[in-house]
A and B are shown apart, each in its own frame.
Chain A
């Protein structure tokens, strides 16, 4: 139960951060990605602020034996820079640059009840399912 409540709280804080920073506003995101337009560098500060916090605090967190409400830390194991990483990131970037939404902002933007956020999120879930189908066929 405490695990669920803390995940809800983390999501909530994350979402407030997205709104405060401007990441939840696709026009602002595109103002950053579109360097040929009226360039808005603000979003570099979002990533800078976030990574400054994680880079310092993660070191202390990961020195602990285990998380508060769970038995182990679940960390990504892959270290290699392979084709799926680069190709997948490129496809993701193209979608991000078209609409100005990455997954977190798109989800919290559902609260505006805008048609574009709903269409985007539905398609994003569909894209994930599509990838799973491709993977299971390849095996």
Chain B
């Protein structure tokens, strides 16, 4: 097992947790990224969602401006990216959340509903990664 980075993973995770605590304490909102993104389109009058997403994207620019590594992946087929995006968009709406809403926030609220979601998308993700990489040979 190479590339194992438990310290930065733990520290980054703690920042994600702090950001979620801040959004709840300040704005009373759950930091569920999929629900926030889809909310931009279903209720555009609530501009806080746009502000949160802008912060997310700005963080990426700031990270790279600071010279921190942002590895790019070459050769991942765009057709697969489109299919995956469609599944993620549809699935997170149907299942009311993603890794942040059900994972970081839902588990933090000790929600059994979120725990069921987390177990399901983890298992599905592992299965899909196996099938696409090892059986279908998609370069990812």
Q: Which of B5, B86, B116, B138 contacts A127 (CB 8 A)?
A: B86
Interface residue ranges of B84-99 to A (CB < 8 Å): 84-99
Residues on the A chain within 8 Å of B116, using CB: 81, 85-86, 89
Bound CA span A93–B125, Å = 4
Interface residue ranges of B110-125 to A (CB < 8 Å): 110-113, 116-118, 120-125
In the bound complex, do residue A9 and residue B59 qualify as a contact, i.e. CB atoms below 8 Å apart? no
1/0 per residue, CB under 8 A from A, across B18-40: the answer is 11111111111111011001100
In the bound complex, do residue A95 and residue B22 qualify as a contact, i.e. CB atoms below 8 Å apart? no
In the bound complex, do residue A127 and residue B12 qualify as a contact, i.e. CB atoms below 8 Å apart? no
Q: Which of A14, A97, A100, A103 contacts B127 (CB 8 A)?
A: A97
In the bound complex, do residue B86 and residue A124 qualify as a contact, i.e. CB atoms below 8 Å apart? yes
A21-B8, A70-B27, A80-B113 known; A119-B51 Cβ under 8 A: no
In the bound complex, do residue B93 and residue A88 qualify as a contact, i.e. CB atoms below 8 Å apart? yes
Nearest CB on B from A62, distance (A): 8
In the bound complex, do residue B130 and residue A35 qualify as a contact, i.e. CB atoms below 8 Å apart? yes
1/0 per residue, CB under 8 A from B, across A94-109: the answer is 1111111111101111
Nearest opposing residue in chain B for A122, CB measure: B85
What is the interface size of chain A, counting residues whose CB is below 8 A from a CB of the partner?
Answer: 116
In the bound complex, do residue A54 and residue B105 qualify as a contact, i.e. CB atoms below 8 Å apart? yes
Residues on the B chain within 8 Å of A28, using CB: 3
In the bound complex, do residue A128 and residue B9 qualify as a contact, i.e. CB atoms below 8 Å apart? no
Q: Which of B61, B88, B110 contacts A96 (CB 8 A)?
A: B88
Nearest CB on A from B106, distance (A): 8
A11-B19, A39-B1 known; A116-B73 Cβ under 8 A: yes
Residues on the A chain within 8 Å of B127, using CB: 93-94, 97
A35-B126, A108-B56 known; A46-B10 Cβ under 8 A: yes
Interface residue ranges of A53-79 to B (CB < 8 Å): 53-55, 57-58, 61-62, 64, 66-76, 78-79
Nearest CB on B from A31, distance (A): 6
Residues of chain A touching chain B, judged by Cβ–Cβ distance below 8 Å, are: 3-28, 30-31, 33-55, 57-58, 61-62, 64, 66-76, 78-81, 84-104, 106-112, 114-116, 119-132
